Amino acid sequence: MEREKIKNAKRIVLKVGTTSLIYENGNLNFERIEKISQVLSDVFNSGKEVILVTSGAIGVGRKKMHFNTKPQSVQEKQACASVGQVVLMQIYSKMFGEYGYGIGQILLTKDVVENPRSKENVRNTFETLLQHRIIPIVNENDSVSIDEIKNISRFGDNDSLAAVVALIVEADLLIILSDIDGFYNKNPKIYKDAVLLDCVKEITEDIKKAAEGSGSDFGTGGMRTKIEAAQMVVNHGCDMILTSSENPKAILEILKGAPVGTLFVAKDK
């Protein structure tokens, strides 16, 4: 029953993490990016609306700037983000353009969405892009969000950013693509008897403990941030699904009500 209502989701936010877009050697996974672009274009063709929240700017910029190790200083990270964001948008523009869609870039910081006036401006931008059949692509503005002011400017991770975007645009569904196929009752990398949960109707203390205890490297933010994102959106009437990025076409199955990944069920709006 919970899966059936996913079929009626009109506005969808999709978040894809760095590990889903970049190989371990630091190079871009063009096949994955193309499949995501194709699937989201097809979703748009079906009459639904899609917003993409993407990570990867610092990772892409690091490769472009020939960093052999992960950048450590704030300045290096900002420079990588600045370079990488341009590359990412060029690629997304090319990929979506192959399927007839234009894209619009929206870079956010936490202080922007916490200010009522600027938040309303952001909402209006999303609405105008969608009305004109342009796919909004969102990332955190890492080139200006610095560690010294992270409490007021940084989201901390793109799971939180995706949840905030879902609330701003009043999305019906948030899909988070990661390097794991859903939420388990304990870390499947450690426990062979770990069970994949099809549906979570209540984010209990046990669920939170399972996320904390994962000790995982699941995506950029880890499992804890994904549970926090789920709690944020379900409390405001938006369903969330966590699933693997291995097969982007599974998004189409999700929107048909198929039991893919873990569904975090929204509370009534």
Segment 157-189, tens digit of pLDDT: 789 999 999 999 999 999 999 888 999 988 888
What value does the mean pLDDT take over residues 203-209? 86
Q: What's the whole-model pTM score?
A: 0.90
HSE, CB side, 13 Å, CA atoms: give it for residue 93: 8
pLDDT for 143 equals 59
Give, in degrees to the nearest 5, the angle at Cα 51 between 207 and 214. 20
Interacting residues of 257 by C-beta distance below 8 A, sequence separation 6+: 3, 4, 6, 7
Sign of CA dihedral 35, 19, 113, 164: positive
Domain ranges within the chain, ordered by starting residue: 4-264
Share of the chain above pLDDT 70, in %: 90
Domain 4-264 = CATH 3.90.245.10:
no
For the stretch 201-226, what's the b/e string if a residue is b when 16 or more beta carbons lie within 10 angstroms of its beta carbon?
eebeeebeebbeebebebbbbbbbbb
Closest CA to 164 of 154, 150, 151, 149: 154
* Cα(89)–Cα(127) distance, integer angstroms: 20
pLDDT digits (tens, 9 = 90+) for 97-108: 999 999 999 999
Select, from the ranges 3-12, 17-26, 109-118, the one with the highest average predicted confidence (pLDDT). Answer: 3-12
Interacting residues of 126 by C-beta distance below 8 A, sequence separation 6+: 51, 106, 136, 168, 169
pLDDT digits (tens, 9 = 90+) for 40-52: 999 999 999 999 9
